[in-house]
Every structure is written in C-alpha cells, then in structure tokens.
Amino acid sequence: MSEKEMADDLVTDEQNSQIIRKTLVKKLIAFIQLYALYIIIFGELGPGGGFQGGVILGSSIIIYILIFGLEEGRKRISQKASDLFSSTGALIYGGVGLLAILFGGHFLQYSALPLGEPAVANHYGIMAVEIGIGITVAATMIILFCEMIGRD
C-alpha cells in the first residue's frame, strides 16, 4: 500500500469518525436535556435540583458546541437568548420571593403563596425557584464557555 493510499484511508476514517460523532451527539443531546429537566423538576423530592439540572442542561449545549463549533452553536442559542435566559431565571427566583412577601410571608416563604393549602403552595413555590435556578445556571455556563472559546 502506497503512502497516498494510506493517507486517503486516514482521511476517510477521520471523516467517518466525525460523521459518527455528530450523529451520536445529535441523538444524545435530547436525552441529556430530558434528564436535566427531570433533575430540575423533581429536585425538591430527592437528590438534584436547579443547580445540578442547570449544569447538565448547560453541558448539553456545550457538548453541541464542542462537536459542531461555536458558530453553529450560536445558531441554536444566540448571545442575546442566553443573556435573556440568565436574567429570566434570576427574575423567577426573586419574583417568587417577592410574591411571598406581598402575601404576608417572609422572602421565599412558599407557604404564604396563594395557591391553596400551604403544602401545595410550598411544593409549587419550590418548583418555581428550582426552575429559575436551573435556567440561570444553564445560561451562565453557556455564556462563560462561549466567552472563553470565542476570544482570539
């Protein structure tokens, strides 16, 4: 086998490997994100929560960017969108706390929320805060990663 044929085989193997990686990542990202949402939503009932689920959710986008590149990743989630998500998550967290104060409780005293029984209000209040934290953490991870790799 000549050197040219060996070089052609290596290029072909690298192209096939890249295709397999891209296909695999496209298939896995949906499952990673679904697992992240599970961790965020059911975090108050067991291990996990907003921070852990947000890290997993942000990592799924970072994996996409690592395989497909920053430009392609920014087509999926722009700088403006990630900034908006970061702010929205913090707004949800603070908003739940302020709503508790408005309805006569302390900051983040979920049982003061007007959602029926105190146990139900507590459940929904914690869930809202966990979602807010998850959104903020995921967006912040994406922003930090894109800023670090986007610099020349």
What the block records as the tokens of 88 is 């929205």
Query: 71 lies in which domain range?
Result: 3-150
**CA 111 to CA 122: how far, in whole Å?**
5
Structure tokens at 128: 């809202």
pTM: 0.82
- Asked if 10 contacts 18 with a C-beta cutoff of 8 angstroms, the reply is no
Per residue in 93-149, pLDDT (tens digit) is 999 999 999 999 999 899 999 988 988 999 899 899 999 999 999 999 999 999 998
Q: What is the reported pLDDT for 19?
A: 75
Q: Which residues contact 63 (CB under 8 A, 6 or more apart)?
A: 25, 28, 29, 32
Task: Dump pLDDT digits (tens) for 47-74.
Answer: 778 899 999 999 999 999 999 889 988 8
Which tokens hold the place of 137?
């953490």
Give the separation between CA 14 and CA 28, rounded to whole angstroms.
21
Tokens 């920053």 correspond to 70
Number of domains present in the structure of the chain: 1
Query: What per-residue confidence (pLDDT) applies to 152?
Result: 41
Sequence-distant (≥ 6) Cβ neighbours of residue 78 within 8 angstroms: none
